[in-house]
Amino acid sequence: MAKLFQGTYTAIITPFTPSNEIDWEAFEKIVEQQIAAGITGLVFVGTTGESPTLTHDEHQEILRWSVNVVKKRCQVIHGTGSNNTRETIEFAEVAAESGADGQLVINPYYNKPTQEGLYRHFSAVAHATDLPIIIYNIKGRTAVNLETETLLRLLEHKNIVGVKEASGDLAQIMEVIQQTPEDFCVLSGDDALTLPIMACGGDGVISVVSNCVPAGFRNCVQNCLDENFGAGKQQFYNLLSLMRLTMAETNPIPIKSIMHQLGYCSPQVRLPLCEPTASTQKAIAEALGSIRQMELS
């Protein structure tokens, strides 16, 4: 059985107007730029999309709008996770009804469930809809790690088809790749670890940096999928300093500032996030020329 998700997926930003409303015109411009660059898929309403500060209605509106604007020109994955299982199921139902290709469900944050709690949470979502699920394992934002043993238990649910791994633990990620079925998708959730994860058998990335260099990172990932690691490695190292820049402050502050400087949207983020420091803004300004060149090369 073929893997459902393999390649480069952009965790797309949610652009806001200076008055803090969703900027639908800028949003569509960004989506069109991604599709034109040949991106494998787009992830809407993830952390990079500032999901914690979206209202419930905004969240659902983006889920429905995204499928209509993409029109099946690339895969669409919806961020449906929260730390409230009932709310996650509600978003999952909207994602399924709207026609998304999959959903990204994060470890519940702040309430720190046990491994049994994680198992029951993801099981409840899997029972509620047939829409394929990619689990998002990121201890740094959720204070809890999904252990490999728990993930393997969850594979009894046929619609749990992959994991976005941002644990930062390469030994654990290798263990997941080794012990899961061949059709299970392991995607990097950390741009800077994409190369080693793919060298160990990973399937691609859900990326922040591909907001501004979709073609460049897509080419890198495709070379790795084709086991052309010589070319992939060179392309990866060309992007590494930019990856670090996008994480110089809390995501998505830097990437939104970069996209603003490239002319795609306002740099507006919602509180409690705020504008980048002067030093980060200076580093972004100095990097713009190379960012543009990366997409042309």
CA 9 to chain centre: 6
Burial of residue 273 (CB within 10 Å: 0-12, 13-18, 19+) is middle
d(CA 127, CA 242): 40
292 inside domain: no
Q: Is residue 156 part of a domain?
A: yes
Contact 49, 255 (CB under 8 A): no
Per the structure, the count of domains in the chain is: 1
pTM here?
Answer: 0.96
What are the tens digits of pLDDT across the range 167-196?
999 999 999 999 999 999 999 999 999 999
- Domain CATH number, residue 145: 3.20.20.70
Q: What is the mean pLDDT of residues 10-34?
A: 97
Q: Is 110 exposed, middle or buried (0-12, 13-18, 19+ CB in 10 A)?
A: exposed
Does 147 have pLDDT greater than 70? yes
What's the burial of 61, exposed, middle or buried (CB within 10 Å: 0-12/13-18/19+)? middle
Which one-letter amino acid corresponds to residue 247?
Answer: M
Q: pLDDT per residue over 70-120, tens digit each?
A: 999 999 999 999 999 999 999 999 999 999 999 999 999 999 999 999 999
Q: What's the full length of the chain, in residues? A: 297
pLDDT in tens, 243-280: 999 999 999 999 999 999 999 999 999 999 999 999 99
Percent of the residues in the chain that have a pLDDT greater than 90, as a whole number: 93
Residue 73 lies in a domain: yes
Does a structural domain hold residue 284?
Answer: no
Catalytic residue ranges: 136, 164
pLDDT over 80 (residue 153): yes
pLDDT of residue 107: 95
51 part of a folded domain: yes
Contacts of 15 (CB under 8 A, 6+ apart): 22, 23, 26, 27, 30, 256, 259, 264, 265, 266, 268
Q: Using alpha carbons, list the distances in angstroms from residue 18 to 78, 172, 267, 273, 280.
A: 25, 42, 8, 14, 20
Domain extent for 102: 7-240
Residue 271 lies in a domain: no
Q: Is residue 255 part of a domain?
A: no
Residue with tokens 């402050």: 249
Whether residue 284 contacts residue 261, with contact meaning beta carbons closer than 8 Å, is answered with yes
CA–CA separation, 233 and 37 (whole Å): 20
Is 265 part of a structural domain of the chain?
A: no
